[in-house]
Amino acid sequence: MSAIADVARLAGVAKATASRALSGRGYVSEETRLKVVAAAREIGYVASPNAASLVTGRTKSIGVIIPFISRWFFSEVLESMEEALLAEGYDMTLYNLPAASPERDSVFEYFLARKRFDGVISVGVALSEGEVDHLHRLGRPLVGIGGPIRGVPTIAIDDVAAARLATEHLLSLGHRDILHIGGNQADEMDFKVHSQRLTGFYAAMHDAGCRTDGAFYPCEFTMPGGYRVGLSVFADPRTRPTAIFAASDEIAIGLIVAARELGIQVPADLSVIGIDGHPYADMFRLTTLEQHPRRQGRLAVATLLAELASPAIREESDHLTVLPTNLVFRSSTSGPRSPLGG
């Protein structure tokens, strides 16, 4: 295996100069740096991360805790974070965090504590008070995505406001018979995403003077979940709504598929709006509120690296950055069909 001395010899510089050129710590001219990098590439030299860690005190590794990997929002956040970290020379270790259990405890008590990370990013995980205390005791920067965490900079959208805006879009088109199909309140996501979106729906409906009795149906946050509930809700034309606010684009797409199967025209017979900005939304011409998970992932990485570059003393209060959503109006929503003879 090639050593730093071999790189220095080939580049015609001192070993210390070669080390500075490859580590980025300390001044070397651009001409010298390019010579050293070319020499290292020529002989296949790769700096030892352990040796670099001894010099810099950094491992160039970030720990990420997340409740789901396969769901669209989380996979988009992960991919964007990995891209941003790799661009800055960092790698990422992922922990798929289960619900409260000995396995979850081991992530905090063993893996995050004993493995050397420069920082930790928590994605969509409402940490317990004990878990927050544990991470703070590690003395490493922590950034969250999804909702407030005590004493931690976090990034999220306003789920109540997003749900309210989606419902108000349907109301503005003239709909009054509107259903919300969203997450089961008994199977709540962290940061109460299900109940917050339901709260936003109810608030918009109440302000418009519309009924809400029987206006909510629980559903899995998946396309098959939306499809199954859609077949059930749309089966009886006497109780069929004119519009639906779906708590996610995947639910909304499942509803559209179910409607098509039953001969219901979208949007002539039924308007559907979702939340997310899923890549399939355009194909299904779905009106949606985009929440830009990739932007959230990139901002989390930028926030963490800024903390590493210039550590800040934070108080115990929340440090929540609320990112805006934007309405993308497509052809899945329109005004309700006029009654015959109206």
CATH of the domain at 223: 3.40.50.2300
Asked whether the beta carbons of 144 and 121 are under 8 A apart, the reply is yes
Identify the pLDDT of residue 341.
43
Number of domains observed in the structure of the chain: 3
Same domain, 282 and 194: yes
Same domain, 257 and 172: yes
* 105-120 pLDDT tens trace: 888 777 777 767 899 9
Same domain, 146 and 69: yes
Identify the pLDDT of residue 60.
87
Same domain, 164 and 264: yes
Same domain, 147 and 240: no
pTM: 0.81
- Count H helices, E strands: the chain? 14, 12
Identify the pLDDT of residue 50.
53
Torsion over CA of 219, 220, 225 and 228, rounded to 10 degrees? -30
- 321 within domain boundaries: no
Parts of the chain with a pLDDT under 70: 1-2, 24-26, 46-58, 115, 312-318, 339-342
Identify the pLDDT of residue 342.
43
Identify the pLDDT of residue 2.
61
Note down the domain range covering 278: 159-290
Residues 6+ away with beta carbon under 8 Å from 212 = 202, 205, 206
- 318 within domain boundaries: no
Torsion over CA of 101, 107, 108 and 113, rounded to 10 degrees? 160
Same domain, 202 and 278: yes
